[in-house]
Structure 1
Amino acid sequence: MTFNQLIWKMAQGNKKKYIFYFLCNSFAVMFFFIFTTIYLNEALFGVEELEGLHDILLIPGAALLFFTVFFINYAHKIFIKRRKKEFSLLMTLGMSNRDLLKLILLENGCLAILALASGLTAGAIFSRLFFMLLMNSVGLKMISFHISFEMLVTTITAYLIVFVFTVAMTIYNLLSKSLTESLKSDRYVENLKYRSPVIGGLGIILLVGTAVLFYITAINQGQDSGTYFFIWTSGIIMGLYITLSQCMSFLVDVAKRYPSFYFPRVLFFSSIENKFRNLTSILVLVSIMSMVTIFFTSFTFFLIKYQEKELVDWYPNDISFVRTEWKNNISDEELNRILTNPNNPLITHEELRAFLYIVKDQNYPELDYEFMPLSDFNRISNEQIELADEEYLYFINMDSEYAYVQEYLNNGIQLMGNAKVLEYSIDDIYSKRILNEGGDYLILTDKEFERIKNEVTGLEYSIQILNVQGWKDSAQIVEELKSRLSTLNSENLREIPQSLVDANYWYEVNSRIQAYNNTIFTNGIIFFVTIFICVLFFFGTFILLYLNVISNTEEEKRRFQKLYKIGITRKEFRLLLSRELGMIFFFAPIIGSCLAFVYILTFGKDGGGLLENISLLYSYLSMSGLYLIIQVYAYLYARKKLFEQVM
Structure 2
Amino acid sequence: MTFRQFAFNNVMRNKRLYMAYFLSSAFAVMVFFVYGVFAFHPGLAPAEIGGTATIGLQIAQGLIYVFSFFFVLYSMSAFIKSRSKEFGLLTMFGITNMQLRRLVFIENMVIGLGATLTGIASGLVLVKLLLLAAESLIGIDEKLPFYMPYQALALTFAAFMLLFLFISLFTVLFFRGNNLIDLLKGSSKPRPEPHASIWLSLAALVLIGSGYGVSLAIDGLTVVYALLPVTVMVVVGTYFLFTQLSVYTIRALKRNREVFWRRTNLLFFSDLAYRMKDNARTFFLVTVLSTVAFSAIGALVGFKTVLMESIQRPFAFEYISYKDNSPERSAAAVDLIERELRAEGIGFTKLKAELRSYKLAGGNGAVMIVSESMYNSLAKAAGGKPLQLGANEAAVIQFSKEKDEKGESTGERELALEGGGEPLQITQSAAFFITGYSKYYVVDDDRFARLPAPQSSEGYYAFDVHNLEATEAVGQRLHDKIGRSQNDSFFSLAFDVKQLLQSYSAVMFVGLFVGAVFFVASGSFLYFRLYTDLADDKAKFASIMKLGLTSRELSKIVTRQMAILFFLPIAIALIHGAVALTAMQSMFHYTLVKESAIVLSAFAIIQIVYFMFIRSGYLRQLRSDMTG
The normalised TM-score by structure 1 is 0.76
Partner of 1:168: 169
Asked if 1:258 is matched to 2:261, the reply is no
Q: Which amino acid aligns with 1:259?
A: R
Cα contact 1:318–1:513 (8 A) shared by 2: yes
Partner of 1:514: 495
Q: Which amino acid aligns with 2:266?
A: V
Partner of 1:364: none
Aligned pairs (5 A) from 1:102-251: 102-142=102-142, 144=144, 151=152, 155-156=156-157, 159-160=160-161, 162-185=163-186, 187-188=188-189, 191-192=192-193, 195-199=195-199, 201-216=201-216, 219-220=219-220, 222=222, 225-251=223-249
Quote the Cα distance in structure 1 between the aligned partners of 2:555 and 2:189: 23
| Structure 1 range deviating more: 540-549 or 323-332 | 323-332
Distance 1:184 1:334, change over 3 A: same
Q: Which amino acid aligns with 2:267?
A: L
| 1:237 Cα deviation after fit | 1.0
Secondary structure of 1:113's aligned partner: helix
Asked if 1:22 is matched to 2:1, the reply is no
Distance 1:506 1:190, change over 3 A: farther
| Structure 1 range deviating more: 61-70 or 276-285 | 61-70
Cα contact 1:317–1:435 (8 A) shared by 2: no
Cα contact 2:473–2:495 (8 A) shared by 1: no
Alignment partner for residue 623 of structure 1, among 602, 608, 613?
Answer: 602
Quote the Cα distance in structure 2 between the aligned partners of 1:521 and 1:504: 23
Cα contact 1:255–1:261 (8 A) shared by 2: yes
| 1:269 Cα deviation after fit | 0.9
Q: Which amino acid aligns with 2:261?
A: F
Q: Deviations over 1:199-255 (max 9, x none)?
A: 463244234323333324554464xx4442111111111111111112332122321
Partner of 2:412: none
Quote the Cα distance in structure 2 between the aligned partners of 1:39 and 1:191: 52
Secondary structure of 1:351's aligned partner: strand
Distance 1:214 1:374, change over 3 A: closer
Quote the Cα distance in structure 1 between the aligned partners of 2:317 and 2:576: 43
Partner of 1:468: 465
Secondary structure of 1:330's aligned partner: helix
Aligned pairs (5 A) from 1:47-126: 64-65=64-65, 67-126=67-126
Distance 1:181 1:447, change over 3 A: closer
Alignment partner for residue 537 of structure 1, among 500, 518, 523?
Answer: 518
Quote the Cα distance in structure 1 between the aligned partners of 2:219 and 2:69: 32
Cα contact 1:33–1:151 (8 A) shared by 2: yes
Cα contact 2:30–2:120 (8 A) shared by 1: yes
Cα contact 1:375–1:446 (8 A) shared by 2: no
Cα contact 1:554–1:646 (8 A) shared by 2: no
Alignment partner for residue 474 of structure 2, among 475, 480, 487?
Answer: 480
Distance 1:21 1:190, change over 3 A: farther
Cα contact 2:420–2:452 (8 A) shared by 1: no
Q: Deviations over 1:416-450 (max 9, x none)?
A: xxxxxxx8789679996543355998999899999
Distance 1:384 1:587, change over 3 A: closer
Aligned pairs (5 A) from 1:393-542: 434-437=433-436, 463-471=460-468, 473=469, 476-480=470-474, 482-483=476-477, 509-542=490-523
Distance 1:250 1:325, change over 3 A: same
Partner of 2:622: 643
| 1:133 Cα deviation after fit | 0.6
Distance 1:293 1:186, change over 3 A: same
Secondary structure of 2:434's aligned partner: coil
Alignment partner for residue 380 of structure 1, among 378, 393, 402?
Answer: 378
Secondary structure of 2:463's aligned partner: strand
| Structure 1 range deviating more: 245-254 or 207-216 | 207-216
Secondary structure of 2:335's aligned partner: coil
Distance 1:355 1:147, change over 3 A: farther
Quote the Cα distance in structure 2 between the aligned partners of 1:42 and 1:394: 55
Distance 1:595 1:643, change over 3 A: same
| 1:164 Cα deviation after fit | 3.9
Secondary structure of 1:196's aligned partner: coil
Quote the Cα distance in structure 2 between the aligned partners of 1:537 and 1:520: 25
Q: Which amino acid aligns with 2:179?
A: S
Cα contact 1:354–1:370 (8 A) shared by 2: yes
Partner of 1:283: 283
Partner of 2:554: 573
| Structure 1 range deviating more: 461-470 or 574-583 | 461-470
Distance 1:228 1:558, change over 3 A: same
Cα contact 2:352–2:459 (8 A) shared by 1: yes
Q: Deviations over 1:273-294 (max 9, x none)?
A: 1011111121112222332333
Quote the Cα distance in structure 1 between the aligned partners of 2:462 and 2:248: 68
Distance 1:603 1:525, change over 3 A: same
| Structure 1 range deviating more: 146-155 or 112-121 | 146-155
Distance 1:573 1:132, change over 3 A: same
Q: Deviations over 1:532-557 (max 9, x none)?
A: 33333333233222222222221112
Q: Deviations over 1:475-528 (max 9, x none)?
A: x334235537868x8xxxxxxxxxxxx965855541222222233223433444
Partner of 1:325: 328
Quote the Cα distance in structure 2 between the aligned partners of 1:439 and 1:581: 55
Cα contact 2:299–2:584 (8 A) shared by 1: no
Quote the Cα distance in structure 2 between the aligned partners of 1:52 and 1:199: 48
Cα contact 2:417–2:423 (8 A) shared by 1: no
Cα contact 2:318–2:491 (8 A) shared by 1: yes
Cα contact 1:201–1:243 (8 A) shared by 2: yes
Quote the Cα distance in structure 1 between the aligned partners of 2:190 and 2:32: 34
| Structure 1 range deviating more: 127-136 or 631-640 | 631-640
CA RMSD of aligned residues (A): 4.5
Secondary structure of 2:261's aligned partner: helix
Q: Which amino acid aligns with 2:559?
A: S
| Structure 1 range deviating more: 460-469 or 430-439 | 430-439
Quote the Cα distance in structure 2 between the aligned partners of 1:76 and 1:582: 25
Partner of 1:35: 35
Secondary structure of 1:142's aligned partner: coil
Asked if 1:551 is matched to 2:554, the reply is no
Secondary structure of 1:184's aligned partner: helix
Quote the Cα distance in structure 2 between the aligned partners of 1:294 and 1:52: 23
Cα contact 1:299–1:600 (8 A) shared by 2: yes
Secondary structure of 1:328's aligned partner: helix
Gaps of 5+ in 2: 322-326, 359-365, 380-385, 404-414
Secondary structure of 2:549's aligned partner: coil
Distance 1:202 1:150, change over 3 A: farther
Equivalent residues, number: 589
Quote the Cα distance in structure 2 between the aligned partners of 1:383 and 1:18: 73
The normalised TM-score by structure 2 is 0.78
Quote the Cα distance in structure 2 between the aligned partners of 1:190 and 1:45: 59
Cα contact 2:73–2:167 (8 A) shared by 1: yes
Aligned pairs (5 A) from 1:8-19: 8-19=8-19
Cα contact 2:33–2:156 (8 A) shared by 1: yes
Quote the Cα distance in structure 2 between the aligned partners of 1:270 and 1:230: 38
Identity of aligned residues (%): 18
Quote the Cα distance in structure 2 between the aligned partners of 1:103 and 1:606: 55
